[in-house]
Amino acid sequence: MFIEPSPNTRRPAERKGQIEVICGSMFSGKTEELIRRLHRARIAKLKVEIFKPSIDKRYHESDVVSHNENSIRSTPVQFAGDILLLAGNCEVVGIDEAQFFDFELLRVVQLLANQGKRVILAGLDMDFEGKPFEPMPQLMAIAEYVTKVHAICMKCGDLAAFSLRLSASKDKVVLGEKESYEARCRKCFLEDKK
Ligand SMILES: [Zn+2]
């Protein structure tokens, strides 16, 4: 279990800022873990803002919605740079579906953390071919804390780190994940990959 920094360090001079990455495959509970951390920051009366790329319109336009339907209000943004303008005086910045932003996100999250903000990102670490999904590897490198969460292989029940695409599409981005993907362990992923 990830232990967050003490919320008691409320005075700006005491806040150092940090970057946390929550990564994993589809169905691994990344967004649930992001929401858990953000809820706890809110209980500590910290100012929290949540952003997601506007590409992700699967669910409600302005909510980060996880699959267990715990939802939290968020702001869809087109470019990573928009987060800098909108994060304003908040103390904790959550970013969901971070893999859909470009490399500009690296500069943005470093600037935010350097201002003393706690930045928590959730994203897919591998695409449907099992290749690193940029810019997640770079975000993991610059983060103070990286948490990899696992799904359960829908074929054998072991821990799963891979997202198997059931359709034949070769696009990197296919949304609507419940119908299009299943979680797989390494062995089952290799057996089932098209
Ligand atoms: Zn398996």
Which residues are annotated as part of the binding site for Zn(2+)? 153, 156, 185, 188
Q: How many C-beta atoms surround the C-beta of residue 171 within 10 A?
A: 9
**CB contact set of 126 (below 8 Å; sequence gap of 6+):** 25, 132, 133, 161, 162, 163
- Domains defined for the chain, CATH in brackets: 16-150 (3.40.50.300)
Q: What is the pLDDT of residue 71?
A: 58
Strand bridging mode 18-24 / 118-124? parallel
Burial class (CB in 10 A: 0-12, 13-18, 19+), 148: middle
Peptide bond into 135 cis (omega under 30): yes
Residues classed as catalytic: 97
Query: Which residue from 120, 89, 86, 116 is spatially nearest to 12, judged by alpha carbons?
Result: 116
27 Cα: distance to centroid of ligand 1 (angstroms): 14
131 Cα: distance to centroid of ligand 1 (angstroms): 18
Q: Are 58 and 175 in contact (CB under 8 A)?
A: yes
Distance CA 83, CA 76 (A): 9
pTM of the shown model: 0.88
Which residues have their alpha-adjacent CB atom under 5 A from ion ligand 1?
Answer: 153, 155-156, 158, 185, 188
Rounded CA Rg of the chain: 17
Tens digit of pLDDT per residue, the chain (194 long)? 777 777 655 666 667 899 999 999 999 999 999 999 999 999 999 999 999 998 755 555 556 655 555 556 789 999 999 999 999 889 999 999 999 999 999 999 999 999 999 999 999 999 999 999 999 999 999 999 999 999 999 999 999 999 999 877 666 665 555 678 999 999 999 999 87
